[in-house]
Amino acid sequence: MGVLVKICGINSLEAADACADAGADFAGLTFHNKSPRNVLPEQARSLAARLRGRVKLVAVLADASDAEIGLAVETAVPDFLQLHGRETPSRVSEIRSRFGVPVIKAFQVAEAADIACVAEHDADMLLFDAKPPKGAPVPGGHGVAFDWQLLHGRHFRRPWLLSGGLNAGNIGRALQASGAAGVDLSSGVETAPGVKSAALIHEFVRLARA
C-alpha cells in the first residue's frame, strides 16, 4: 500500500473534488472560527455530501467543547475526529467514548520531549505537526516544519501521519527523513491562506505516491 495522504482544510467544492479525484485517502473539514479554512454548518453538510464514499472524512477541532464537537458530528458525520489542540489523555478518551467516532490526536512537535507523551493518549491514529509560531490564533496550517528525523525509527501502537510545512518540493525528503507511512497538509496546496489549488493537490498526491 502506498503512502496515506490527508488533505486538510477543504472548504470549497472544487477542492473537495480535487482531493477525491487525486486519490487522497482523507479530507479534513476545519471547525475553528479563527481559521481561514473554517467551515460553517451548511457548508460542512454540502462538502461532506460531496466527499462521502470517496474519501474518509475528518472533522478537525482544537480544544472544542462538547457542543462544538456535537455540531461537527451532526453536520459532517465524519469518519474521524481530529483533536488538534491541547486535549489531555482523559479528554481524548472522553470524546472518543461520548461521540463514538474514531479519534486522530495531533501533537505539536519541536523537540524529542514533545513525543514522549504519545502513549498516554487513547487515540486511533496519531498526527505529528510543528509547534505553531508564537501568538498564532490556530494550532495548525502554518506551513512550518519541524525536524522530521525526530520521528525516524520510532514505533507507535497506532498508525501516524506526518504534518507541518509539507509541499510538493519537500515530500520526498520528508518521507525519507521521518519514515512516515502517511502525510497531512493544508497550506502546502494553497495559493493563499484557505484557498486550495486543484493543480497543487493533484501534484502533491502524485509525488507522495511516487
pLDDT at 138 over 70: no
Q: How far apart are CA 34 and CA 15, in angstroms?
A: 20
Q: What is the pLDDT of residues 92-111, one digit of tens each?
A: 999 999 999 999 999 999 99
Give, as one character, the DSSP assignment of residue 77: -
Q: What pLDDT digit, counting tens, does each position of 33-48 carry?
A: 999 999 999 999 999 9
pTM of the model: 0.92
Q: Alpha-carbon distance 53 to 116, whole Å?
A: 36
Residue with cell 475528518: 58
Three-state secondary structure readout of 94-131: HHHHHHCCCEEEEEEECCHHHHCCHHHCCCCEEEEEEC
Q: Say which CATH class 4-209 falls into.
A: alpha beta
